[in-house]
Amino acid sequence: MRQRFSGLILLATLGVAGCHPARGGHALAGSLEVTHAVIPASASPTEASAFMVLTNHGSTAVTFEGATSPVAASIAVHKDVGGLMQPAGPLQVPPGGYVLLAPGSYHLMLEGLVHPLAIGDTATVTLEFDQGGPLSVRVPVLNYTDAVSELPLR
Ligand SMILES: [Cu+2]
C-alpha cells in the first residue's frame, strides 16, 4: 500500500515536470474526454470564445450538441470561415477520434457574459452530447498567445 502510494506521487511529479505544465481544462466522463480547454481573454465585455479538444474513446460516433455555462446567457458553436464566424454544429465526434476547436476552425462562443472574463478567471462549461456526458470542465481564461499555445496544433 505504501509503495503504491509513493508511485502515484512520482507519477504526479513527472507530469508537472514535463515541458510545461498544462493549464488547459480537462475532464473525463465515460468514453468522452475534453482536454486543452482554454478561453482567450476577449476585448469584448459580452462575448468570448473557447477552444478545446473533444475526444471520443468509445466505439460509436457521438454528437456534441451544445454547451452551457453560468457565466454566459448562451453558448453557440461557431466556425471561422475566412475570418467570418458562422453558426456550426452539431459536431460529430468519430469513434476513436476527436474534434479540434481551434483558431481558424470551430470554437464555442460564449454570448451574453454575466461579467467580463479577465485573465486568471475560470469559467465552468458543461458540454452536452447525444449519448454519454454531460461533461463539465473548468476553463481558464488566458492571454491569447498562452491560450493558443495550450492547443495541440501542428
Ligand atoms: Cu464565434
34-59: pLDDT as tens digits = 999 999 999 899 999 999 999 999 99
The pLDDT value given to residue 66: 95
Give the global pTM.
0.86
User: Quick one: average pLDDT of 58-71?
Assistant: 97
Q: How far is the CA of 150 from the centre of ligand 1 (A)?
A: 19
The pLDDT value given to residue 132: 92
**Residue 125 corresponds to which cell in the numbers above?**
462549461
In the chain, pLDDT over 70 holds for what percent of residues? Answer: 86
- What are the beta bridge partners of residue 29? 32
- What are the beta bridge partners of residue 72? 69, 113
15 occurs within a structural domain: no
| Domain CATH for 68 | 2.60.40.1890
Print the domain residue range for 94: 23-149
Contact (Cβ atoms closer than 8 angstroms) between residue 102 and residue 131: no
The pLDDT value given to residue 89: 80
Q: Please, what sign has the CA dihedral across residues 115, 118, 124, 126? A: positive
- Decide: helix, strand or coil at residue 60: coil
**Residue 11 corresponds to which cell in the numbers above?**
507519477
123 occurs within a structural domain: yes
Domain count, the chain: 1
128 occurs within a structural domain: yes
Q: How far is the CA of 76 from the centre of ligand 1 (A)?
A: 7
Rounded to whole angstroms, the Cα distance separating 151 from 5 reads 31
User: At 8, which amino acid appears?
Assistant: L
12 occurs within a structural domain: no
Ligand 1 ion: nearby residues, β-carbon < 5 Å: 78, 85, 109
